[in-house]
Amino acid sequence: MTNVLQVEAVSRSFGDRQVLKDVSFTVRAGRMTGFVGANGAGKTTTMRIMLGVLAADAGEVTWQGTKLTRELRQRFGYMPEERGLYPKMTIVDQIVYLGRLHGMSADAARRSTTDLLERLNLGERAGEQVEKLSLGNQQRVQIAAALVHDPEVLVLDEPFSGLDPLAVDVVLGVLRERAAAGAPVLFSSHQLDVVERLCDDLVIIADGTIRANGSRQELRSSYALPRFALEVDTDAGWLRDEAGVTLIDLDGPRAVFDLAPGTDDQDILRAALARGPVRSFGAVTPSLAEIFREVNQ
Ligand SMILES: Nc1ncnc2c1ncn2[C@@H]1O[C@H](COP(=O)(O)OP(=O)(O)OP(=O)(O)O)[C@@H](O)[C@H]1O
């Protein structure tokens, strides 16, 4: 499989502190991939290494099987953690300028800028200075800056943080379009619940180590134990003592619990009925945030 962006066995230390430990994952072309982990997990450091801003101590990053070079990275779109916009420049001048830096003709840069600003609902503000914009709108300008040269690959550090729900949808639409056109789109977030909603694939990092990499469905089915919800008339605390049951949540007569492999859910239902009426009983699908609780701690 060569049509992927591949991070292979990347390690990095700052002083005697190792912040990336043998990090490997793939970002597939045509997919939105969420890169999730708590603050300090190593997302920004990984992305900086992917973009060549920072060197790895070991390992490498390849695109379509080729080790990244400065020329290859010119065809990438990058949204860094530190948002480096020129506060006094107008939005339109700024994006056109960045397009020109990537080798676009003045015409092409202007066309692409106009189109992007329209898509991002910034068309009417194109002549305003960046510093006059709200932070959410500055963030949209930053997205335009990453996309203006029609990049082959997108690597975005927290593109959705600080956006209201409407803006999230607008930005998501623009990024999905790029993915549909064949680009791999990697974006980081410290909110697994948000990412789960927005992406096709996930890479989960905790404490500098990759915990999981795959599609949403794969991760759900490979990590989740069968989970059930039960509602009875009286306190459901007795579930705690049932073999094979791990209580996830108990609220008086309502309980959510996982079942160990080999435990029959119908045995639990019978045990509940033996104690009184059962109002509801059924399987529930845990969210990835619930499966990987530690990511958000
Ligand atoms: N230049 C540096 N010098 C020393 N330590 C660093 C440097 N850059 C990052 N670190 C440390 O490396 C670890 C990983 O940081 P990184 O910024 O990659 O995490 P992150 O997952 O992006 O977190 P956040 O969501 O907070 O941005 C942190 O403990 C951080 O303090």
pLDDT per residue as tens digits for the range 189-202: 988 888 888 899 99
Q: What is the pLDDT of residue 8?
A: 97
* Containing structural domain, residue 275: 224-296
Q: What is the pLDDT of residue 269?
A: 96
Q: Pick the last residue of a domain from 167, 190, 214.
A: 214
The structural domain count of the chain equals 2
User: Mean pLDDT for the chain?
Assistant: 91
Residue among 11, 45, 157, 205 whose CB has most ligand 1 atoms within 8 A, to mutate: 45
What would the pLDDT profile of 48-100 be if each residue is shown by its tens digit?
Answer: 999 988 999 999 999 999 999 988 888 899 988 776 788 888 999 999 999 99
CATH code assigned at 27: 3.40.50.300
Distance in angstroms (rounded) separating the CA atoms of residues 44 and 163 = 19
The yes-or-no verdict on residue 130 having pLDDT over 60 is yes
Q: Are residues 53 and 196 in the same domain?
A: yes
Q: Are residues 190 and 250 in the same domain?
A: no
Q: What is the pLDDT of residue 1?
A: 55
Percent share of the chain, pLDDT over 70: 98
Q: Are residues 8 and 130 in the same domain?
A: yes
Which tops the pLDDT comparison, 290 or 114? 114
pTM score: 0.84
Q: Are residues 183 and 255 in the same domain?
A: no
- Dihedral sign (CA 244, 214, 139, 50): positive
What would the pLDDT profile of 96-107 be if each residue is shown by its tens digit?
Answer: 999 999 899 999
Q: Pick the last residue of a domain from 214, 246, 278.
A: 214
CATH code assigned at 288: 3.30.70
Q: 158 C-alpha vs ligand 1 centroid, how far in Å?
A: 14
Q: Are residues 202 and 235 in the same domain?
A: no
> What residue ranges line ligand 1, CB within 6 angstroms?
14, 19, 37, 39-45, 190
The yes-or-no verdict on residue 290 having pLDDT over 90 is no
Q: Pick the last residue of a domain from 154, 180, 214.
A: 214
Q: What is the pLDDT of residue 295?
A: 55
The yes-or-no verdict on residue 296 having pLDDT over 80 is no
What would the pLDDT profile of 11-52 be if each residue is shown by its tens digit?
Answer: 999 999 999 999 999 999 999 999 999 889 999 999 999 998
Question: SS in 3 state form for the chain?
Answer: CCCEEEEEEEEEEECCEEEEEEEEEEEECCCEEEEECCCCCCHHHHHHHHCCCCCCCEEEEEECCEECCHHHHHCEEEECCCCCCCCCCEHHHHHHHHHHHCCCCHHHHHHHHHHHHHHCCCHHHCCCEHHHCCHHHHHHHHHHHHHCCCCCEEEECCCCCCCCHHHHHHHHHHHHHHHHCCCCEEEEECCHHHHHHHCCEEEEEECCEEEEEEEHHHHHHHHCCCEEEEEECCCCHHHHHCCCEEEEEEECCEEEEEECCCCCHHHHHHHHHHHCCEEEEEEECCCHHHHCHHHHC
